[in-house]
Amino acid sequence: MRKPTKVLLHNDRTHDLADKLKERFPTIEIGECNTYENLPDVIATFEPDVVYAIRFAGSDGYPVAAFFAENGPRWIANGGAGTDHLGTWDPKRTTVTNAAGVAADMMAEYVLGCFLHFSLDVPGLQADKAASIWRPRFVTPLKGKTILIVGLGHTGRSIAAHAKAFGMTVLGTRMRPTKMDNIDQVYPSVQLLDVLPQADFVAVSTPLTDQTRGLIGQNEIGAMKSGVILADVSRGGVIDPSALLSALQSGKIAGAWLDVFETEPLPSDSPFWDLNNIILSPHCSAVHDQWEQDSFDLFLDNLQNWENDDPLFNIVDPNRGY
């Protein structure tokens, strides 16, 4: 008889998840760990087959080594989309899956919210209100404008669908270009410099990999239109922060919504805090009131495959980073 699968839940709120897991899989053995510090000992003593993990306190002290120890779990189900915090692993020994797509629509709403914020000159309206000035403002509709989406995974494709609903011309870049719904033209990533000058709005939604680190640097920002609007919902490190800061200070980039930074939390002395032409959010564009539940439901469906000896979905290639 097959031994019951051992599943370790690793996040800062495990109890509700444990109840739901037990309800669907009554024979599974469940372990819980809600701190980074205790994870190595819990893995060593509980010896889970599977770990469902959500990074809940940033990267500092994240116990990556415990996941990939010699007697570590065979499957790590990452509750978010990005896996750059896990480093590299041997896919022959450990399978890593992610929750890509769970928050794609929410992140797309962030991006379109950014574009509307600046195209409707909300900052100007707020300034006039604060000064008790009644002054009509001429605004710029999104219809007919061009958006470039850098990275066409689940989030990028959702951004494209939302942008099309506003009547925008949608361009995109990806490693292997192919025709996609809601995207007028898909270019290979190597043509990014050639495509950037066409865009009135740029959305960055690519994962952080060795190939995408520093993807948007001084040359790429220099190729953008003057007055472009930027939304970054990728990962800190994809955009060169020095080049970005300079472009925002000069007005080359007229406005931006920045959800990710190379160092998180963003240090209190960072000059980004002083900019008036950005919206800054603390890496939360994927967070909504159903996000954790949706992520866990996706895991439960994948766990059913595991129990049935069927192939897992959303497997991450450590060499590609997604």
- Tell me the CA distances in angstroms from 147 to 55, 89, 153, 300, one per residue in order: 31, 36, 16, 36
Q: Let me know if domain 6-102+289-308 sits in CATH 3.40.50.720.
A: yes
pLDDT tens-digit map of 191-202: 999 999 999 999
pLDDT tens-digit map of 152-194: 999 999 999 999 999 999 999 999 999 999 999 999 999 999 9
Q: What is the band of 1 on the pLDDT scale with cuts at 50, 70, 90?
A: low
Let me know: does 233 contact 107? Beta carbons within 8 Å: yes
CATH code for 104-280?
A: 3.40.50.720
Instruction: Give me the sign of the Cα torsion angle 240, 243, 245, 248.
Output: negative
Domain ranges of the chain: 6-102+289-308, 104-280
Helix axes 122-130, 104-119, angle to 10 degrees: 60
Q: How far apart are CA 234 and CA 238, in angstroms?
A: 7
Q: Do domains 6-102+289-308 and 104-280 have the same CATH topology?
A: yes
Helix or strand holding residue 278 (H, E): strand 278-280
Task: Note the pLDDT of residue 224.
Answer: 99
Task: Note the pLDDT of residue 130.
Answer: 97
Task: Note the pLDDT of residue 59.
Answer: 63
Q: Considering only CA atoms, which of 315, 295, 313, 294 is closest in space to residue 304? A: 313
The catalytic site residues sit at 235, 264, 283
* Token pair of 4 as six digits: 């019951």
Task: Note the pLDDT of residue 58.
Answer: 61
Residues 6+ apart with CB under 8 A from 238: 204, 206, 208, 212, 213, 214, 215, 216, 232, 260
At 262, which amino acid appears?
E
pLDDT tens-digit map of 2-26: 899 999 999 987 778 999 999 999 9
Task: Note the pLDDT of residue 321.
Answer: 84
What mean pLDDT is reported for the chain? 95
What integer is the mean pLDDT of 69-73? 88
What is the phi/psi pair of residue 60, to 5°? -60, 125
* Model confidence at 228: pLDDT above 90: yes
Strand order in 50-53's β-sheet?
29-33, 6-10, 50-53, 75-78, 95-97
Task: Note the pLDDT of residue 12.
Answer: 83
Task: Note the pLDDT of residue 45.
Answer: 96
Q: What pTM was computed for the model?
A: 0.89
Residues 6+ apart with CB under 8 A from 116: 122, 142
Least confident stretch, 69-83, 139-153, 299-313:
69-83
Task: Note the pLDDT of residue 63.
Answer: 87
Q: What is the band of 213 on the pLDDT scale with cuts at 50, 70, 90?
A: very high
Task: Note the pLDDT of residue 254.
Answer: 98
Q: What is the band of 57 on the pLDDT scale with cuts at 50, 70, 90?
A: low
Q: Of the segments 11-15, 38-42, 217-221, 282-286, which one has the largest average pLDDT value?
A: 217-221
* Model confidence at 240: pLDDT above 70: yes
DSSP secondary-structure letter at 159? H
For 75, the 3-state DSSP assignment is: strand
pLDDT tens-digit map of 244-301: 999 999 999 999 999 999 999 999 999 999 999 999 999 999 988 899 999 999 999 9
